[in-house]
């Protein structure tokens, strides 16, 4: 099945390059040069993913995103942002964008992000049907079979590492203190040092993280949080 990508970008040269590259990769594309046209096209046809520029004349990217998400929580939306749009990136992610990429971007990186977003959204229904499967982004952990995957790779964890990742996956986007993790994973009767948490976080990161981006973020002086890996350009 050919996947369909809607490009909403007012700079015609960028829109054209995106369209050519995506069609070369065998995606079907549609292009809108204003937020309003993008929204109309989004509603009229069926799309598997939206590439949405933030800085658009008239209805801007965040307005478009807000309107898309008021009716549709599932179609992945990737934001195209300028380097100094930090605040808009954060608002965009809070509004339900799946990812963002900073201009000027490498087309290979954009294609990788698109593949990831499509893969995650394509898996959602099956995952939702299995209550023992915990997922977050490209991470998945099955609580009964104890299988762990990250970005399609199978991950071997020791029982303690498994318990730690399981606890983080049950509380995504929530900062957990070392004490909370120690209680949850090692138990209340554990009288060791909380440093053991840092050690095991390091083990788990080493196994699940592929390259520079980490799923488990350190919150200085507090603890750890499982969040989408943020790639900074």
Binding site for Ca ion (CB under 5 A): 10, 53, 55
Nearer Cβ to Ca ion (55/175): 55
Closer of 55 and 59 to Ca ion (Cβ) = 55
C-beta closer to Ca ion: residue 10 or 99: 10
Minimum separation from the CB atom of position 59 to Ca ion (A): 12
Supply the minimum distance, in Å, between the C-beta of residue 171 and Ca ion.
37
Task: Provide, rounded to whole angstroms, the least separation between the CB of residue 36 and Ca ion.
Answer: 14
Q: At what angle do helices 12-24 and 107-129 cross, to 10 degrees?
A: 60
- Tokens for 144, please give them: 């009964």
Distance CA 174, CA 195 (A): 20
Closest CA to 219 of 162, 158, 177: 177
Residues in contact with 27: Cβ distance below 8 Å, sequence separation at least 6, in sequence order: 2, 3, 4, 5, 114
Q: Which residue is nearest to Ca ion (CB)?
A: 55
Rounded Cα distance, 111 and 18, in Å? 10
Nearer to Ca ion, 53 or 138 (CB): 53
Beta strands in 24-152 (DSSP E): 28-32, 49-53, 77-81, 99-102, 133-136, 139-142, 148-150
Q: Find the shortest distance in angstroms from Cβ 132 to Ca ion.
A: 44
Nearer to Ca ion, 15 or 155 (CB): 15
d(CA 155, CA 144): 15
Q: How far is the CB of 33 from Ca ion (least distance, A)?
A: 9
Closest separation in Å from C-beta 147 to Ca ion: 43
What's the min distance (Å) between Cβ of 38 and Ca ion? 12
Query: In Å, what is the CA distance from 231 to each residue of 99, 137, 154, 210, 214?
Result: 9, 14, 22, 12, 9
DSSP 188: T
What strands lie across the sheet with 223-226, from one edge to the other?
Answer: 176-177, 223-226, 216-219
Nearer to Ca ion, 53 or 85 (CB): 53
Closer residue to Ca ion in complex, CB, 61/223:
61
């Amino acid at each position: 099945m050919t996947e369909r990508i809607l490009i909403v970008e007012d700079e015609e040269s960028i829109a054209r390059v995106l369209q050519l590259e995506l069609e070369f990769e065998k995606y079907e594309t549609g292009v809108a040069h204003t937020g309003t046209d993008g929204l109309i096209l989004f509603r009229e046809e069926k799309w598997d993913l939206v590439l949405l520029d933030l800085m658009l004349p008239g209805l801007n990217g965040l307005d478009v995103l807000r309107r898309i998400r008021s009716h549709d929580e599932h179609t992945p939306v990737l934001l195209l942002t300028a380097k100094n749009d930090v605040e808009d990136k954060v608002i965009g992610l809070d509004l339900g964008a799946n990812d963002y990429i900073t201009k000027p971007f490498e087309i290979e990186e954009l294609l990788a992000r698109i593949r990831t977003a499509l893969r995650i959204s394509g898996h959602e229904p099956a995952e939702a049907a299995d209550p023992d499967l915990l997922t977050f982004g490209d991470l998945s952990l099955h609580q009964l079979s104890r299988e762990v995957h990250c970005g399609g790779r199978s991950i071997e964890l020791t029982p303690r590492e498994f318990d730690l990742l399981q606890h983080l996956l049950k509380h995504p986007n929530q900062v957990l203190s070392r004490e909370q993790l120690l209680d949850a994973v090692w138990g209340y009767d554990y009288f060791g040092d909380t440093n053991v948490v840092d050690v095991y976080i390091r083990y788990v990161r080493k196994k699940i993280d592929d390259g520079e981006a980490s799923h488990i973020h350190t919150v200085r002086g507090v603890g750890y949080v499982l969040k989408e890996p943020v790639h900074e350009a």
